[in-house]
A = this chain, B = another copy of it.
Amino acid sequence: MVVSIVKQQALFIGIDGGGSKCKATIVDANNKILGTGISGPANPLHGYQQAIYSIEQSALLALADANLAEETIKQLIAGVGLAGVNLPSQMQQMQQWVHPFKKMFLTTDLSIACLGAHDGQDGAILITGTGSCGYSHVNNQEFFIGGHGFPHGDQGSGAWTGLQVVSTVLRSLDGLEVESMMNQMLLLKLKCTNYLEIVETIARKPASFFAQLASIAFDCAGQGDELALSIVEKGANYMSKLANKLWLQQPPRLSLIGGLTPVIKPYLDSKVSRCLLPPIHPPEIGAVIFAKQQLDYQA
């Protein structure tokens, strides 16, 4: 009884913290959306201070959007899903954060995306945004596949695709590959006139920079460019393999989510793409669902 009264009066905030941005949504006990906020990167693996700053910032922006006072942050019950906290060291560090919320329930970005996509029920997700990976939650068992990061993993993601574009264009400009439409498009996009300028421009750039170049591969593949098609097909083939591993977990539903969803879908194995179901809620709402589930467990 006590719990249900708490839940009815409570304000919840769902936070989805990824490598390039952090999104927060405040809802009331009836799931009515009161306000949203978006701030910067929140993957603690790429910077703990930046991550906690972005999380708090997204919450303050959502409070402002909801016309709620800043101090209300102390009343919020937060569900927070973060990239990077699948690594035990990162999870541990984040759990030691003296956070500003009334309560904070922390889990992975994958967990909240899956909860959101399937409205709190069992299911699986394939993600391809800046990074890529597969995840399922079935009968209280979590299953992860892929998602090992940039530049060594995350095939089929935006960052991986952009890196292949750069690598392929440089080989093509060297005459080691056939000509590609991507060559001119990359030069234009980076405002470069030759390969040396490309090399200078991309030096030491993070995954998010390369993710912005992914559209070059998809645009050129759509026009039949051979090298672009081979990048896109290789990435999509990897995503299809992830999907097949996810099916072995027998999830009731499978959703494809993330920024590349519309462009990569046509290249997936047709057996995979025809089984995909649209996500029901975004990850931030999945984070709220997570917080509410955790409150129930604690009761």
Contact = CB atoms under 8 A, between A and B. Distances in A.
Contacts of A153: 167, 170-171, 199
A2 B176 CA distance: 48
A77 interface: no
Given A176-B238, A238-B176, A87 B152 contact: no
A195 B148 contact: yes
A176 B242 contact: yes
B163 A152 contact: yes
A287 to B, nearest CB: 23
A148 to B, nearest CB: 5
A277 interface: no
Q: Which label, helix, strand, loop or mixed, suits the secondary structure of the A interface?
A: helix
Contacts of A45: 203
B200 A87 contact: yes
A195 B149 CA distance: 12
A40 interface: no
A241 interface: yes
A297 to B, nearest CB: 25
Interface string A152-178: 110100000001001100110011100
B149 A199 contact: yes
Please give the count of copies of this chain that the complex contains.
2
Report the interface size class on chain A: 20 to 34
Nearest to A173: B148
Contacts of A245: 174-176
B163 A151 contact: yes
Interface string A237-273: 0100110010000000000000000000000000000
A20 interface: no
A87 to B, nearest CB: 5
26 contacts: A45-B203, A46-B204, A86-B196, A87-B199, A87-B200, A88-B196, A89-B200, A145-B175, A145-B176, A146-B174, A146-B176, A148-B167, A148-B170, A148-B198, A152-B163, A152-B166, A152-B167, A152-B170, A152-B202, A153-B167, A153-B170, A153-B171, A155-B171, A174-B245, A176-B241, A176-B245
